[in-house]
Amino acid sequence: MTMAYENFQDVGSDEKTQKIDKALPFPSAVWNICSVFRLLLFSLGLGLLLLVVVGIIGSQNSQVQKDLLMLRRNFSNFTSDTMANIQELTSKGHSLQEMTKSLKDEVEDHRQELQTIRSFNQNMASLKSTLEKKEEELKTEQSAMLLKIQQLVKDLRTVNCGLADLRRNGSVKTCCPLHWLEYDGSCYWFSQSEKSWSEADKVCQLEDAYLVVVNSQEEQNFIKSHKSTFNTWMGLTDQNGPWRWLDGTDYKQGFKNWAPDQPDNWYGHGLGGGEDCAHFTSDGRWNDDVCQRSYRWVCETKMDKAS
């Protein structure tokens, strides 16, 4: 019953609509036509806009493709150039490696040569030192041998001279005794022990000599060079008065070589008496001292001229 009523209402409504449509005025139809026309224009404009957009996009896409193609070509060229550079650098790297190895080998060779040279120099220095030492030893031996030869010659001459003197019954003395030193026509003997002045004088007399008498600066220098630095008695005394030489040489007019403020005949030594005998000091100058002191001494004897 309800469905029949609803259908009846729908039929009534459609009929009313058709009546209204039939009753629409003319301006409403014109408005509908204008609306359709505007819709058509809008669609046409939208189509043109889309066409323009598509054209622009297509144009840009073409340019992008061209740019992409250019990039591909550039990249291909870059890749080719890069590979060529890499190959060239690789080749140069191999060359540098070979050169480096060659240089290392050369440096090692030079190092070994330098080590050899250093070793050679060390050996040469050692050999030089050995040769210099040997040379000094040979010089020393040669000097010692020369002194021995000279002494042997002197000894031989002394022996021959002594034999000649013996043939003349000792009346003439033309050479120095063995172990005596000859200088300017006199013979000198330098002691190695010490005695008082009087005992030393007696030893010299036993050798047919006397304590040395100094007559010149040259003789003074000769004695000084052989006596070393020892205090040494000479043949000068003032025990019996003024100073006098044992061989009678004039003291006042003769050569003198006293140390400063000497002789002073000093009594403060505590040995009794003054200082009455002369001796050579360590530096060769003369000093007066107590005759009882023990010093070394020098004997002197004159040689006769050979006839």
pLDDT, one tens digit per residue, over 265-294 is 988 888 888 899 999 999 999 999 999 999
Contact yes or no for 274/287 (Cβ under 8 A)? no
User: What does the pLDDT read at residue 188?
Assistant: 96
241: helix, strand or coil: coil
User: What does the pLDDT read at residue 160?
Assistant: 64
pLDDT at 173 over 70: no
Q: How far is CA 160 from the centre of its chain?
A: 61
User: What does the pLDDT read at residue 2?
Assistant: 42
Q: How confident is the model over 239-252, as a mean pLDDT?
A: 93
Question: Smallest Cα–Cα separation from 284: which of 211, 221, 192, 195?
Answer: 221
Q: How confident is the model over 26-41, as a mean pLDDT?
A: 68
> In sequence order, what are the residues at sequence separation of 6 or more whose Cβ sits closer than 8 angstroms to the Cβ of residue 194?
294, 295, 296
**More confident: 126 or 27:** 126
The confidence band for 243, taking pLDDT boundaries of 50, 70 and 90, is very high
Please state, in angstroms and rounded to a whole number, the distance separating the CA atoms of residues 205 and 199: 10
> In sequence order, what are the residues at sequence separation of 6 or more whose Cβ sits closer than 8 angstroms to the Cβ of residue 104?
none
Burial class (CB in 10 A: 0-12, 13-18, 19+), 203: middle
Q: In Å, what is the CA distance from 276 to each residue of 87, 129, 204, 235, 289?
A: 115, 57, 19, 11, 6
User: What does the pLDDT read at residue 162?
Assistant: 64
pTM, 2 dp: 0.49
